[in-house]
Each structure stands twice: as C-alpha cells, then as structure tokens.
Structure 1
Amino acid sequence: MKDNAHTIPAGYSSIAPGHIASVVTCLEMREKPASAPVPLPEGFTLQPLTHHDPDAYRSLFRKVGADWLWFSRLMMSDETLISVLHSSSREIYCVHHNGQDVGLVELDFSEPGEAELAFLGLTQDVTGKGIGRAVMSAATELAWAKPVQRFWVHTCTFDHPSALGFYIRSGFTPYARRVEVQADPRLSGHLPLEAAPHVPLLSA
C-alpha cells in the first residue's frame, strides 16, 4: 500500500456528511508458508477471468462484495475498468461452482518484488463451508509462484468479522493500521441502500 496518508490526532474526528470511515489493517507475508496447499472441494474450480466485459465484472463484484461495501471498482469508468481487467500486472480469477461464478480472487504484481491480494471473496451461499481456506491457499500458491519477496493484503472494519483472523491464520502478519474515509457508495447509487446493514446509513 502506497503511504500517502497523514496521521490523524488522538481522540474523535468528525466525518463529513454522506461519508463512511473504516479502520484498515495492513498485513504481510514475507515467505511462503511451509504448510501443504489446501485443495478446493470437489466441484469448485479457480478459473482465470476470460471475459473483460465491465458490466459482467461489476455484477460479480457486487455479488461478492456488496455486503462488505466493496465499491472501488464500481466507481470506475468503463474505460478505466477495462484497463484494469486487461492489465498484464494483474491476475484475476473466478471461483466457479455448478456453472456459476461464486467468488473472486485478484492478485496485483504491479510493484516489483511484491504481490498484493487485492480482492478475495465468496458469495454468501458458499461461505462458512471451508472453501475460503482453499481459495486462500490457491491464491498464496499463485502469489509465491512469481519472484516476489512480499505478499500483502489489507482488510477493514466493513469486512466480514472473521476476515482479520482468517488472514492471520493464513500466515499474514499485521504491520500497520489506517483510517479510510470515502463517500458512501449507497448514497451515490453504486450500491443498494440495503447493502451492508452492519454499517449505519447516514443521510448526507
């Protein structure tokens, strides 16, 4: 994560109307875990993204991430998103099951010697079944198959409550904490008003 943030003072800080704020934890892995890879359950596969249609990608992105306020890709123009989807420094995969895409994995190799786990998520109907552990194992294998010295990820307080513990159990170590403030994507129409009910919706 590029460090372009400033330090906020101790105590309470007000958030502008119509905005949301989350606490972000950055984690890293400096060497490949020694444990054996965890295979995907029968019927699940991890397939490279072959379609680069921005609307189809946004549909999967919402399906996986709406409950956790994933919004960054939804605010991109078609041109910018297509550029991301075609980027040679990114590897994007779909978790496939029963003819449906039920998850998303994206690795970013744009920084030399580093791999960022930009996105990893599953749809609600396949969570809680141990599939996430296998998908993370596959992502880790893919990251360390490249000449990298560091694999990193960040999660925030909008994510699933178990996300931070999941990353730590997967071999990542927390190294930084930040606060991110953004316009609420539910108020802009990029996500439905009922998305992420655990994050109170405050009118602008």
Structure 2
Amino acid sequence: MSRAFLLAFADEERKRSLSRIQKRRLRDCNNSLDLPEKEFMANFRVNKSGFQQVLAELRPFLQRAQRNTAVAIELKILAVLNFYANGSYQRSSSFICNMSQPTFSRCLHEVTDALNVRDVLLKYIKFPSTQQERESTMRVFMEKFGFPGVIGCIDGTHVAIIRPTDHEEAFFNRKHYHSLNVLLICDANLQILHVDASYGGASHDSFVEPMLH
C-alpha cells in the first residue's frame, strides 16, 4: 500500500515538474522583442531601445534565475511594464499567459523595488538644483513655447489602486474610486523632474504640494 502511494506521489511530482518546465519554455519562446516596434510600444509604453536601457539599469538589482524553471530577468521586467501600461494583470499580453498570479506578484514587487533604488531613481527623476541647470531649463521653455522664467510644468492625476484595508477613506476620491493623488512636474521635453505620490485620493489638490530640495 505504501509502495503504491509513494509511486503515485513520485509520478505526480514528475508531472508537476514537467508542467513547470513546459510553462517556462512557452514563456521563453514567445519573444516579445520580436514584435514590431509599434506593437511593442503599445504593449509596454516604451520602445525596444528604451527597454534595453531599463534592463541594463535594473539587472544589478534583480535576482538572477537559480533554477531552470525560474523567470528570466527580461520577462520579469516585460511583465511588469505591461502591467504598468494596462493597469491589469488579467489584460496582460499573451507572453505572460503562462505566468501564475503569485509569480507575477513577486515579479511586480521585485521590479518596482528595483526602480525605487535611490541610485536609479535620482538618475532619471531630478529637479534642476543649480542655477546653470535652471537657466538651461528656462531657455528651452522660452525657445519651444515662448514662456519666460519657467522651470517646470506642474499637474496632478489620480492613479487608481486596489481598495486598501487601512484608512480606506483617505484613498476614496471624488470620482468614487480608490486612488493616489499624484503630483508631477516635467520640463519642456516632457522629462519628469519631480513626483510626489504620498497623498491619498481623498486629498484635495491644494494639499498636494511639491517638496523640492
């Protein structure tokens, strides 16, 4: 009896192992980098060159695959970029259709944490701090739009979030969904100079003020 149980258990483990390997192969052979540039941008909101730059920046901060069934770093980033672009795991591209929800959740946290590493963050999101940088920014605004003395354009947007369990009322906005009231400042080339996502959607715009240093 015990022998039959052990054989059945071993057979089930073998099937699960083969299933994991098959899913990994399915993910790998559906190469999103083979997509036409326009379709790639529609899925990930970044061109292929931009993706390669993101990959180079984040690779040192992401866990390397230790098993043959682990998700490759490239696929982790692509899956998360697709989620950022669409706002939903369920509507993600077919290339991650074989990635389970728990696996994707781990990828989402890992890639998001890598993007928030201080060295990465401050390399791309940095308000002009010197007089020379500010004068250069003002010059571009004047040349492109005829606006004198402008350092940045400021606006806010509500970014939808899953209903939180703590202080839910602070995130329920006037449009009747849960969100963060995010403040953004960009330069004349649409480069983001400052982000503040620390306010819940219930906060009025007048309270969402930039903390610039």
Q: TM-score, normalised on structure 2?
A: 0.25
Q: Which structure has more helix as a fraction of its residues?
A: 2
Q: TM-score, normalised on structure 1?
A: 0.26
Name which one, 1 or 2, has greater alpha-carbon Rg: 2
| Structure with larger RCO (C-alpha < 8 A, sep 6+) | 1
